[in-house]
Amino acid sequence: MCGIFACHRHPDVQKFKPTALRMGKAVRHRGPDWSGNVIANNTILVHERLSIVGIGDTGAQPIVNDEGTVSLAVNGEIYNHRVLRKHLQKPYNFKTHSDCEVIIPLYLEHDIDAPKHLDGMFSWVLHDKVQDRIVAARDPIGITTFYMGRSSETPGAVYFASELKCLHPVCDDIMSFPPGHVYDSNTDKITRYYVPKWLMQPETTPDTPLNYKLLRETLETSVRKRLMAEVPYGVLLSGGLDSSLVASIAQRETLRLNEEARKQIANGNGVSQQNGLVGIDDDNQLSTVQLFPVLNSFSIGLKDAPDTAAAEEAAQFLGTRHHSFTFTIEDGLNALSDVIFHLETFDVTTIRASTPMFLLSRKIKAMGVKMVLSGEGSDEIFGGYLYFHAAPDRDALHQETVRRVKNLHLADCLRANKSTAAWGVEARVPFLDKKFLDIAMNIDPKEKMITKERIEKYILRKAFDTSEEPDTKPYLPDKILWRQKEQFSDGVGYGWIDALRDNAELHVSDEDMKKPKPQWGDDVPDTKEAYWYRCMFDEHFPSSCASTVMRWTPTWSKQTDPSGRAISYHQKKYEHAE
């Protein structure tokens, strides 16, 4: 991940430059490798870089074209950049090996439609000096965080940043930039460019027949694309279905790439045996550049946490180099204020789950790993949360999955992005690949319904069940493949949530609950834990930032506590019925 700050049409951009650099510095944790800035006309772009692809000096940002007419600041990864370079209509002199530079010639050829051609996760701000125009865009689902702001003190200016902490000191009107949209300063409008039917017409229930083979192969391709890196990488492995599948596919691909590398080394073609670098070739396939000897996997939990044992079992089966960390309740409680500062939210579910992830990311960064794969998105796509047991019919289930995917940028994507970026680690999420989404979200939702015979996410589990394929090595042991859903905040140890509730009782009185702060308006916390988090949020951010926060609540349930344990369908053991 990287960090962006930009301001377009500031009345005195040179005078504003020191402030802009200070705002960029506020997200240096996202990009600790290098800093850069560009001023053109009355616009300034500031970039804090985390180098994953194009790690040499040539990848520094903002990137400026040869003519000096277009400048670009990007946060994210463009997985199809080699293919895009190959099929440009006009010659373009690339100055870097970065995957992001291709956005400039795409803009020159396709104008505001440039984001439609990108396959990846991204937030970017591009300035056209000739037109004095800003074009800004965010990836289809909002995997990367991105905000837009305005100030009553500079009414003609518009601001952009990767995190709220860059904007609230200079803006009094801030919004979360909507995923799948592009902003054009020529019209001062934000328009949607990502328009799949399943997202735009959720009331139209899809009826595409289920194809297990296609589902499996598309996810495998998605993971393969996300191994594009020039730094050591790893996988977050909780021991649940989603992270374990991602780890399994990544391990298979790493072993395959290593075998190819060994053959190249044996043939004397000069491939290095040092830490591995994996690239994308001109046909959008992974190509081995160096040998990466082992895939690292990481988990965290309280002592004897449910996820820890499952993660270790999965890692042993897969053969990853596993790193199992523990944290104490005191560690978590001590980190809460920092977690809320980095997350920029007061949502209970997000804070509960992010704290262990925040602590784990610090350990990962200390080990020299800068990129990890993670399993976010699967529960939203397949109706994997336990409250989906109560879905009344296929139409309702489909509409709820669409709603959840649409709001991922305010929930799990925000958690994964900011928990890792706090320590300069990038999280990639294969389940939110555009092609995989189109396949999975267009499956007839009757296949996703949970029944007595079908555990949640049955079709995903079945797609990777090789019990009837004697010549195929199992992806996971059955105990993991058919393990019941645990929310991350539960799986790290049930004592974690209990401790949060108990400590909230110590910090928030009954009298406090009767006297919510006037600036909260109608968004009043309904539990002491929620009240406690909102107070900590207010210590870091002004009330103008609260509108960017969404509080997670389950549908079809009167239960207000979002913990999976609070759902009546939760069991410690769930016997899979064939």
List pLDDT tens digits, range 286-333: 444 445 557 999 999 999 888 899 999 999 999 999 999 999 999 999
Structure tokens at 573: 């053991």
For residue 17, give its domain range: 3-195
Specify whether 187 is located in the same domain as 234. no
Which residue's entry shows tokens 């996988």?
A: 235
Q: How far apart are CA 247 and CA 259, in angstroms?
A: 18
Which residues make Cβ contacts (< 8 Å) with residue 308, sequence separation at least 6?
Answer: 239, 299, 300, 301, 324, 326
Q: Is residue 207 part of a domain?
A: no
Q: Is residue 206 part of a domain?
A: no
User: Which pairs from 319-324 meet CB under 8 Å and 24+ separation?
Assistant: 319/251, 320/235, 320/237, 320/247, 320/251, 320/294, 320/295, 320/296, 321/294, 321/295, 321/296, 321/297, 322/237, 322/296, 322/297, 322/298, 323/296, 323/297, 323/298, 323/299, 323/363, 323/367, 324/299, 324/300
pLDDT confidence of residue 553: 82
- Asked if 187 and 179 touch (Cβ cutoff 8 Å), the reply is no
Specify whether 349 is located in the same domain as 482. yes
Q: Is residue 202 part of a domain?
A: no
Residue 166 designated active-site: no
Q: CA dist 43 to 8, 55, 77, 159, 167, Å?
A: 4, 27, 24, 10, 16
What's the distance, Cα to Cα, between the start and end of the chain in Å? 42
Q: How far apart are CA 448 and CA 445, in angstroms?
A: 5
Q: CA dist 342 to 26, 417, 422, Å?
A: 11, 10, 6
Specify whether 371 is located in the same domain as 466. yes
Nearest alpha carbon to residue 29 among 75, 73, 94? 75
The CATH number of the domain holding residue 145 is: 3.60.20.10
pLDDT confidence of residue 260: 79
Nearest alpha carbon to residue 233 among 56, 63, 55? 55
Which residue's entry shows tokens 């997200």?
A: 27
557 burial type by CB count under 10 A (0-12 exposed, 13-18 middle, 19+ buried): middle
Q: Is residue 205 part of a domain?
A: no
pLDDT confidence of residue 532: 98
Summarize the annotated binding site for L-glutamine as residue ranges: 99
Q: Is residue 302 part of a domain?
A: yes
> Which among 2, 100, 171, 545 is annotated as catalytic?
2
Q: Is residue 492 part of a domain?
A: yes
Q: How far apart are CA 172 and CA 183, in angstroms?
A: 19
Q: How far apart are CA 357 and CA 178, in angstroms?
A: 25
Q: Is residue 571 part of a domain?
A: no
Q: Is residue 572 part of a domain?
A: no
Which residue's entry shows tokens 């529960």?
A: 379
Structure tokens at 359: 């602590």
Q: How far apart are CA 101 and CA 162, in angstroms?
A: 19
pLDDT confidence of residue 572: 41
Residues of the chain with pLDDT under 70: 52, 54-59, 268-293, 485-491, 559-578
Specify whether 128 is located in the same domain as 46. yes
Specify whether 219 is located in the same domain as 189. no
38 burial type by CB count under 10 A (0-12 exposed, 13-18 middle, 19+ buried): buried
Which residue's entry shows tokens 């394929």?
A: 469
**Domain stop point among 135, 165, 195:** 195
pLDDT tens-digit map of 189-239: 999 999 999 999 999 999 999 999 999 999 999 999 999 887 788 999 999
Nearest alpha carbon to residue 489 among 419, 536, 555, 441? 419
Specify whether 21 is located in the same domain as 68. yes
Specify whether 139 is located in the same domain as 44. yes
Q: How far apart are CA 288 and CA 296, in angstroms?
A: 18
The CATH number of the domain holding residue 556 is: 3.40.50.620
**Domain stop point among 195, 220, 235:** 195
Nearest alpha carbon to residue 420 among 138, 149, 30, 57? 30
pLDDT confidence of residue 283: 60
Specify whether 471 is located in the same domain as 394. yes
Summarize the annotated binding site as residue ranges: 99, 236, 300, 374-375
Q: What is the pTM of this model?
A: 0.93
Structure tokens at 16: 């504003």
pLDDT confidence of residue 576: 39
Q: How far apart are CA 376 and CA 236, in angstroms?
A: 10
Specify whether 151 is located in the same domain as 217. no
Specify whether 7 is located in the same domain as 96. yes
Specify whether 313 is located in the same domain as 179. no
Specify whether 185 is located in the same domain as 237. no
**Domain stop point among 195, 226, 245:** 195
pLDDT confidence of residue 557: 76
Residues 42, 46, 51: CA angle, nearest 5 degrees: 150
DSSP 206-245: --BPP-HHHHHHHHHHHHHHTT-BSS-EEEE--SSHHHHH
Nearest alpha carbon to residue 118 among 133, 107, 129? 107
Tally of domains in the chain: 2
Q: How far apart are CA 215 and CA 382, in angstroms?
A: 12
